[in-house]
Amino acid sequence: MALIDIDRERGLLTVEFQGLDKLWTFKSRLEIPLAHVRGATHDPGMAREPKGIRVGGTHFPGVITAGRFRHDGERLFWDVKNPDKAVVIELADAETYDRLVIEVDDPRATVALVEQAVSHR
């Protein structure tokens, strides 16, 4: 699971990976400029979509999808074990990823946090 936070002073969306997710994703944190964040949705169905090609990370179907993937020309970053808690963060002008698909503790609160930050840029 991951914690998502907004740092308005630095203009960043941060994703902090917890526990073993650091191992599965090969990352401890991501920092995305808020200017590159288009929005977020709670999308449990996204976790059931084809993942594409794993570039780095872990994928055991039905158990965990974590790390970097490429699908239909998109660069995706995944960290999902429980699809019901998946949040999709759409990015624009991103240098590294087009979308983040992240499992969070409270998807609705996370979407509200991201959407509020995007609307107040």
Count of structural domains within the chain:
1
Per-residue pLDDT, averaged over 18-44, amounts to 94
Task: Using pLDDT thresholds of 50, 70 and 90, give the confidence band for residue 95.
Answer: confident
AA letter at 73? G
Q: Which domain holds residue 78?
A: 2-119
Residue ranges of alpha helices (H) inside the chain are 21-25, 107-119
- Give me the pLDDT at residue 120, please: 82
61/37 Cα distance (integer angstroms): 28
Chain centroid to Cα 54, Å, comes to: 15
pLDDT > 70: percent of the chain: 99
User: What pLDDT, in 10s, does the model give residues 41-81?
Assistant: 999 998 888 899 999 999 998 899 999 999 999 999 999 99
32/97 Cα distance (integer angstroms): 9
51/35 Cα distance (integer angstroms): 26
User: 3-state class of 89 per DSSP?
Assistant: strand
18/34 Cα distance (integer angstroms): 22
Per-residue pLDDT, averaged over 9-16, amounts to 96
